[in-house]
């Protein structure tokens, strides 16, 4: 397995985040995932999460999720005090299983999307969003 410089940096940041984050925040995200998937394995691929690499302000971060054929997509912000963001349930008249919204991120962190696919399996995607601090006012 090869790591790009970016991957390595990401891992290092992730490890740092795991170290400093309050234990409960991660546990809460894991609990939410377990509740959604029933503990099933999650494949990579099958769900797309689009988020900016750098958010100009953490109060309003545009994201889009998409998973062709999915029944539902859950979005979590793993570094927020409460990781839950939204769960999109798609009905028969959803033309595509895709939606956009704007979310709050308490700081730089991984945003995770988990889709329940048409065959009942689950897929996961994640994106690291860097949340910047403003100019003088912060």
Partner 1 sequence: MASGVKPRVKVPKTAAAGEAVTIKTLISHKMESGQRKDKEGNIIPRSIINRFTCAFNGEMVIDVTMEPAISTNPYFQFDATVPEAGEFVFTWYDDDGSVYDESKSISIA
Partner 2 sequence: MNFKALTAIVAVVATPLSAVAGPDEDALVVNEEIEMVTQTAAPAHLSDALDEIYSGWRFRSDETQSLQMDDFDNPALVFVDQAQDAWGTVDGTEGKSCSTCHGAVDESMAGVRAVYPKWNDEAGEVRTLVTQINDCRVNQMGAEKWKYTGGEMAAMEALISVQSRGLPVNVAFDGPAQETWEMGKEIYYTRYGQLELSCANCHEQNYGNMIRADHLSQGQINGFPTYRLKNAKLNNAHARFKGCVRDTRAETFSPGSPEFVALELYVASRGNGLSVEGPSVRN
Give least dist CB 98 to partner 1, A: 7
- Residue tagged 């290092």 (tokens): 12
Convert residues 53-72 into a mask of x (bound to partner 1 by CB under 8 A) and - (unbound): ------xxx--x--------
Identify the residue among 60, 69, 89, 101 touching partner 2 (CB under 8 A): 60
Burial 39-77 (b: 16+ CB within 10 A, else e): eeebeeebbbbebeeebeebeebebebbbeebbbbbbbb
Task: Identify which of residues 42 and 106 has a Cβ nearer to partner 1 in the complex.
Answer: 106
Applying the rule CB under 8 A, the residues between 65 and 124 that interact with partner 2 are none
Q: What φ, ψ does residue 37 adopt, rounded to 5°?
A: -95, -10
**What does the binding site for partner 2 look like in residue numbers (CB under 8 A)?**
52, 54-57, 59-62, 132-137
């Amino acid at each position: 397995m090869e790591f790009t410089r970016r991957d390595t940096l990401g891992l290092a940041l992730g490890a740092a985040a795991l170290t400093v984050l309050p234990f409960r925040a991660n546990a809460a995200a894991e609990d939410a995932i377990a509740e959604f998937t029933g503990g099933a394995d999650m494949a990579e691929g099958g769900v797309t999460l689009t988020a900016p690499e750098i958010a100009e302000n953490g109060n309003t971060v545009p994201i889009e999720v998409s998973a062709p054929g999915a029944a539902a997509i859950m979005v979590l912000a793993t570094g927020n005090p409460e990781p839950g963001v939204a769960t999109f349930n798609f009905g028969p008249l959803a033309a595509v299983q895709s939606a956009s919204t704007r979310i709050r991120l308490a700081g730089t962190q991984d945003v995770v999307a988990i889709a329940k696919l048409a065959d009942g399996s689950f897929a996961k995607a994640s994106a690291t969003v860097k949340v910047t601090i403003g100019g003088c006012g912060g």
